[in-house]
Each structure stands twice: as structure tokens, then as C-alpha cells.
């Protein structure tokens, strides 16, 4: 029993059982055979008791060493050798545990995903050894500027994760921005040759949505937010949001919208399954429209309409063949004619959604051009819906700044120049200037 319990539970339990057994045995000897001049049983059992204690101590000592060795091995398995923070394997293991704990306590838990901007450029310029030093320094910054119970992990390559139990994504945003600013202001070797003369990071934030949520979804949402942060000029923090989550929040008073939200989600999900570019494009155009509307102090009613229009402007692509949507070649005349039908078909679908009828005109005109050379009606100038003219600029800007098989990706500055060039022909001149100013000023 002493051997078994010592191996199973360690030296303290082993010694406790050994001492307890010895005292019990010796007490019985004294009680039962105390009248004899020489108690041979006591003498024998005294030696046996000493053996109990020695066996428990020696065996317990080696068990303690073994347990320490196992803990060290586990630490080595959980620690990233380069940065000395937790690794990708441990992240998934501990994140599941922390999520379960927070669900049980009914408290939030959030996740930050962080990626170093232009890290490949730095590695190519200074070599991987110096790049490894940057990773170590950023790891130290992260560990030194989070809360005591937060867990910093290296997710892979130049990506890091921070698990933040007990706070929601709005509170996490403050911590994330502090981390971003700390890294931005840190004096890394060779940073003067990087874009903006600094080494910067982009960060995405998400949080647990409840007991029915899972780790895979949280990580995916944080990754989507990180993608947006890197796309929108980098060196920024993005809290996860999606067209599905935001759609019903735009107009909480419109109960008809809520009743039809499921059908809209289904349609957009179908578009996503057929053409991932269109889905991501919709989210970015919504974002640009929000910035645009706020910068020119658009009325609340017009802002709602513009955002709805941005959400729904490409619904008609559900009727465009998948081969055309994902084609890597320039479209033929017939294929282009099929593609050109999508504004009208988007409007036809929208008219069937209760409470959205007023958005149809906005959407049907989003490919009209200021000089009248657009489609489907070829209307021009002030005859084009004002919000459609705003949507046209945001839609075109995103198309220009994302790579398509038949079109080279432009930088933001190149896209601004193209909008300037097309003022009065493709775009409303006044709105073009306001859009460029809004995007340049976005933080």
C-alpha cells in the first residue's frame, strides 16, 4: 500500500501512510504485549517501521523527480523555442479550457490575433536571424503589456494570439490598441527602411458568443478581423463584424427587416459559396460606405439606405453563372451582357423583401456613370440617385484595390488618382473629392 500510494500520489502521501502505519503497528505492540520484560514484537516492528519510512522517502524522492521531469517536458512541448512564449499546440489546448471556464462563470472571453506588417520585406532585407530577433522582441512586448491572467501564444510564423478571459471585445480593443502603439514606438533595428519607417502590427479581435459558440468560430472571426485590419492600410485594430451580424442592427425599429433577414442571409450565403470575392467585396464596400456617410454627415435615414444598398447591391449575381463569376479571363461580349444584368436583377430581388422597396432604385443605378455611359439605363449626372453615386465610388474603389484575374491590383494612392482622372465621366466630381478625403482620414 505504501509503495502504491507513493507512486500514485507522491512523497507526502507516501510518508503520511508510512508514519501512520508505523505508529499504529507500534501502538498495538505496546498495548497487546506491554507486560513482557522484552517485547520482541516491538523491536521487530520498530525496524519494519523504519523500513516503511525509508522506502516511502526514497521512492517518493524519485517520484518527485519524475514528476518534475514530466512537467519540464510538458513545458518544453508547450513553449515556442524561439520566442519562449506558448506555442500553437498549447493555444488550442488552453483556449478550450478557458472558454469552458468562462461559460461556467458566465463571463466573457476575447481573443486578439496579431500579425507583423511587411515582415517578409524585413526578412528579405536583413535576413531571418534578425527577423527572429524582431519576433523575440515583439513577444516580450506582448508579455509585458497584457494583464496577469492573459495568455500570449505564438500562433505561427509572424502571427501571435492573446487570450483575454473576463473581458468583452470592446474592452479588449483598448488593450489591443495599447499593444499596437507600444510596438509602433519601439526602436527595432533597421526599422527606418520599412514602410513608414516603423515596424507595425495589425490586430483582429473577436469574442465568445456563448455556450453554443466554439473555438474554431472564434479564431475564424478574429482572423477575418485581422484580414480587414491588414487590408485597410495596416497598423490598425479591427473588431470583428460581419454583414450577417450588422444587418439587423442598422434599423432596430424596422420589424419587417427582421422578419426577412433569414432570406437575405440565405441569398448572401449562396453568393459566398459560389464566389468568395463577391462576399468579401460586399463587406469592404459596406465599410467604405459607413466611413463615407459619416465623413459628410449624411442624415441617419440616408445612411441606413446607403448601408442597405451596399449590403444588397450584388444580390443579382446569384443569377450569374459561376463560370463567369470566377472566370480568370476577360469576359466575352455575351458573358459581359449577362454580368451587366445583375443591377436590375438585384433590384428585382430587393423589391420582394418587405420593407426594402426604397433601396431598389439605389441598387439598380450603382453601375450608372456620371456621363451617361453606364448601365442598365444610361442615365447621367444629377438624374442618378445621390446615394447611388456614393455607392458607385465605394464599389469602384474596392474593385480597383483588389486583385482580379483580368485586372491588376492598385494601391490606395493609385486608386485615388484613377478616381481623380474619372471625375465628371465615371464619378460625381464633388462626391469623388469627398470620398478621397474620407478614406485618407480614416484611422
The cell numbers describing 439, all together, are 478614406
Q: What is the pLDDT of residue 256?
A: 53
Count the neighbouring beta carbons within 10 Å of the beta carbon of residue 165. Answer: 19
pLDDT of amino acid 46: 77
Classified as helix, coil or strand, 366 is: coil
> For the domain 88-240, what is the CATH code?
3.30.70.270
CA distance 404 to 417: 19
Question: What pLDDT, on the 0 to 100 scale, is given for residue 282?
Answer: 83
Tell me the pLDDT of the chain (443 aa) as tens digits.
788 877 777 778 888 888 888 888 778 877 776 565 656 677 677 778 888 888 888 888 888 887 777 776 666 678 998 999 999 999 999 999 999 999 999 999 999 999 999 999 999 999 999 999 999 999 999 999 999 999 999 999 999 999 999 999 999 999 999 999 999 999 999 999 888 899 999 999 999 988 888 899 899 899 989 988 887 778 999 998 765 555 555 454 555 555 555 666 667 666 666 666 677 788 889 889 989 999 999 998 899 889 889 988 888 888 888 777 767 777 888 888 888 899 999 899 888 877 677 889 899 999 999 999 999 999 999 999 999 999 999 999 998 988 766 667 888 899 999 999 999 999 999 999 999 999 988 75
Considering the entire predicted model, what is its pTM? 0.66
C-alpha cell at 24: 499504529
CA distance 401 to 415: 7
d(CA 131, CA 121) in angstroms, rounded, equals 10
| Domain locations in the chain as residue ranges | 2-78, 88-240, 245-441
Residue 276: the pLDDT is: 64
Return the number of other C-beta atoms located less than 10 Å from residue 51's C-beta: 13
What span, in angstroms and rounded, lies between the C-alpha atoms of 328 and 404?
8
Q: What is the largest CA-CA distance in the chain?
A: 124
Question: Measured between alpha carbons, how far is residue 114 from residues 224, 394, 430 in Å?
Answer: 12, 27, 38
- Distance from CA of residue 318 to its chain's centroid? 28
CA angle 276, 339, 241 (to 5 degrees): 30
Asked whether the bond before 61 is cis by omega within 30 degrees of 0, the reply is no
Strands 109-116 and 201-207: antiparallel
According to DSSP, the residues that pair with 205 across neighbouring strands are 112, 239
Classified as helix, coil or strand, 176 is helix
3-state secondary structure of 86: strand
Q: What is the DSSP letter of 209?
A: -
Burial string for 313-344 (b: 16+ CB within 10 Å, else e) reads bbbbbbebeeebbebeeeeeeebeeebebbbb
Q: What angle do CA 380, 385, 386 make, to 5 degrees?
A: 105
Q: Running DSSP on this structure, what letter comes out for residue 330?
A: P
Please state which CATH number belongs to domain 245-441. Answer: 1.10.3210.10
Contact 220, 260 (CB under 8 A): no
Closest CA to 222 of 360, 112, 78: 112
**Residue 371 grid coordinates:** 456621363
Amino acid at each position: 500500500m505504501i509503495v502504491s500510494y507513493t507512486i500514485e500520489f507522491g512523497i507526502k502521501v507516501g510518508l503520511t501512510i508510512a508514519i501512520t502505519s508505523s505508529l499504529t503497528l507500534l501502538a498495538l505492540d505496546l498495548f497487546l504485549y506491554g507486560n513482557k520484560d522484552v517485547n520482541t514484537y516491538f523491536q521487530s516492528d520498530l525496524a519494519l517501521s523504519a523500513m516503511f519510512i525509508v522506502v516511502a522517502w526514497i521512492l517518493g524522492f524519485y517520484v518527485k523527480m519524475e514528476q518534475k521531469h514530466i512537467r519540464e517536458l510538458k513545458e518544453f512541448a508547450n513553449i515556442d523555442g524561439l520566442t519562449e512564449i506558448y506555442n500553437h499546440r498549447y493555444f488550442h489546448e488552453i483556449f478550450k479550457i478557458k472558454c469552458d471556464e468562462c461559460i461556467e462563470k458566465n463571463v466573457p472571453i476575447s481573443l486578439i490575433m496579431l500579425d507583423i506588417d511587411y515582415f517578409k520585406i524585413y526578412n528579405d532585407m536583413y535576413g531571418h536571424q534578425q527577423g527572429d530577433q524582431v519576433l523575440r522582441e515583439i513577444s516580450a512586448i506582448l508579455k509585458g503589456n497584457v494583464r496577469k491572467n492573459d495568455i500570449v501564444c505564438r500562433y505561427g510564423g509572424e502571427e501571435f494570439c492573446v487570450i483575454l478571459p473576463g473581458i468583452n471585445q470592446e474592452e479588449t480593443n483598448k488593450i489591443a490598441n495599447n499593444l499596437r502603439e507600444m510596438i509602433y514606438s519601439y526602436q527595432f533595428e533597421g526599422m527606418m527602411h520599412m514602410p513608414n519607417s516603423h515596424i507595425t502590427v495589425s490586430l483582429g479581435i473577436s469574442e465568445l458568443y456563448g455556450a453554443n459558440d466554439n473555438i474554431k468560430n472564434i479564431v475564424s472571426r478574429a482572423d477575418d478581423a485581422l484580414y480587414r485590419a491588414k487590408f485597410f492600410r495596416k497598423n490598425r485594430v479591427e473588431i470583428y463584424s460581419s454583414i450577417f451580424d450588422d444587418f439587423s442592427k442598422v434599423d432596430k425599429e424596422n420589424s419587417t427587416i427582421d422578419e426577412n433577414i433569414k432570406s437575405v442571409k440565405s441569398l448572401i450565403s449562396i453568393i459566398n459559396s459560389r464566389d468568395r470575392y463577391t462576399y468579401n467585396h460586399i463587406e469592404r464596400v459596406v465599410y467604405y460606405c459607413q466611413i463615407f456617410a459619416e465623413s459628410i454627415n449624411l442624415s441617419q435615414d440616408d445612411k441606413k439606405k446607403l448601408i442597405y444598398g451596399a449590403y444588397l447591391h450584388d444580390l443579382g449575381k446569384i443569377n450569374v453563372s459561376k463560370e463567369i463569376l470566377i472566370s480568370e479571363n476577360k469576359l466575352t461580349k455575351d458573358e459581359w451582357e449577362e454580368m451587366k444584368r445583375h443591377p436590375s436583377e438585384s433590384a428585382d430581388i430587393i423589391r420582394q423583401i418587405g420593407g426594402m422597396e426604397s433601396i431598389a432604385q439605389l441598387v439598380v443605378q450603382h453601375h450608372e456613370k456620371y456621363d451617361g455611359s453606364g448601365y442598365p439605363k444610361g442615365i447621367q449626372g444629377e438624374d442618378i440617385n445621390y446615394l447611388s453615386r456614393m455607392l458607385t465610388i465605394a464599389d469602384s474603389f474596392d474593385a480597383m484595390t483588389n486583385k482580379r484575374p483580368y485586372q491588376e491590383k492598385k494601391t490606395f494612392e493609385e486608386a485615388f488618382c484613377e478616381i481623380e482622372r474619372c471625375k465628371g465621366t465615371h464619378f460625381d466630381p464633388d462626391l469623388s473629392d469627398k470620398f478621397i478625403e474620407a478614406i485618407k482620414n480614416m484611422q
